Amino acid sequence: MSKHKFHTKIKEYRAKTGLTQEKLADTVGARRETIIFLEQGKYVPSLKLAHDIAKVFGAAIEEVFFFTD
């Protein structure tokens, strides 16, 4: 059984759109700390949160969140 590592491109998408962690958190109904932990790969979001974040950026979930071996 292989162990997968979680990755996110939230920080890159935020930089492209000019969103702060706080503004993104407010937009998706999360706490700023949640966005910080997501960006650091310390938290795997629920499907709903992943969908909401991807939607803010106009991207598919798999473009923003992905796993590697």
12-31 pLDDT tens trace: 999 999 999 999 999 999 99
pTM metric for this prediction:
0.91
Radius of gyration of the chain (CA): 12
Q: What local confidence, expressed as pLDDT, does residue 2 receive? A: 58
pLDDT under 70: residue ranges of the chain: 1-2
Of 54, 27, 5, give the one whose Cα is nearest residue 46. Answer: 54
Which domains are delineated in the chain? Answer: 10-62 (1.10.260.40)
> Would you list the DSSP string of the chain?
-PPPEEEE-HHHHHHHHT--HHHHHHHHT--HHHHHHHHTT--PPPHHHHHHHHHHHT--HHHHEEEE-
Q: What local confidence, expressed as pLDDT, does residue 3 receive? A: 80
